[in-house]
Amino acid sequence: MSSPVLNQCQTPEVHAKAWALQPFENDDACGDWLLPLGQNLDFQTANALSASCFVMAGAHCYWKADTPIARAYGFMMCLVGIGSFSFHATSSLVSFMIDIVPMAVTAAMMLFRAVHALQAEAGESRGSNPETQRFVIAMGSSFVAVYLPWILMQLGLSHFKVWGLWAFLFGSMGVAFAIVACLIFVVEGIFWGKGGRDLFISVVAIILGLGCTIHSFIPGLCDGWRTSVPLHAFWHIFSSISANRLGHVLDTLTKLVESMELRECVAKGKRKPLLLRMLKDALPSQFSM
């Protein structure tokens, strides 16, 4: 659905209001109890109320975490809950943007620490250049994740496709963090500890959640029994569990990176990046032919 055209008789304020009152068309509301708000907008009761799960998940992470970045992640997760509520309370286009921005910020935090962990494992995490690199990668990725869907909406791409693109971009950042955390935990020998358990719970919860919300970005699935069950509310429950556990993984990974950097100061040596070493180990040796 294309955005309204700003004509000569329409002030910027009227144009902004018209854009804000456009509905965001997907099937999040499938099976929910809807309260009409006018302008084709609805209050999605179960979805809006279940957004509070993110506030609880973030608050728990904030109070239990030991590191500043994990506490900041918990605080931002509370804002994810507020953004999610605002979206499902109106189902409007502008509230969709309000919803995804804090989510992109949390993903940037995780990606920042993932890059930091890879740098620390290679013995190249200290100094202004490595720090600049991880800031640029994290902030640039979150910028693309928010800005690209907005551009495509302005170009008239369907909201289902925009939602699918956003889910892919945001999910890719989360998957990258999970993979790096898993690799570092294995290399450091703590995978079977708390960090590994939190990571496992997070993966299981997000898979269950995706099964509940696939109809949100694939049109035509809202039929049959799905029309009587607010499945997207279950996505909020499962994804908030996943987000909470990822916050604790972020906390564990941050403390681990700090200890890795202390070892780096003692050893004062550099190694090839972890991913390159793993690739080399996976390739057959020329002497084994």
Q: What is the pLDDT of residues 8-18, one digit of tens each?
A: 455 555 545 55
Least confident of 13-22, 125-134, 257-266: 13-22
Quick check: 142 and 173 in contact, CB under 8 A?
yes
pLDDT band at residue 3, thresholds of 50, 70 and 90? Answer: very low
**35-269 in CATH: which number?**
1.20.1070
CA distances from 288 to 48, 88, 277, 283, 284 (A): 60, 59, 18, 11, 7
Between 153 and 202, the higher pLDDT residue: 202
Region of residue 127 (phi > 0: left; psi between -120 and 50: alpha; otherwise: beta): left
74-104 pLDDT, tens digit per residue, is 999 999 999 999 999 998 888 998 999 999 9
pLDDT digits (tens, 9 = 90+) for 24-81: 888 899 999 999 987 788 999 999 999 999 999 999 999 999 999 999 999 999 999 9
Highest mean pLDDT among 62-76, 116-130, 152-166: 62-76
- Cα dihedral sign, 87-92-96-97: negative
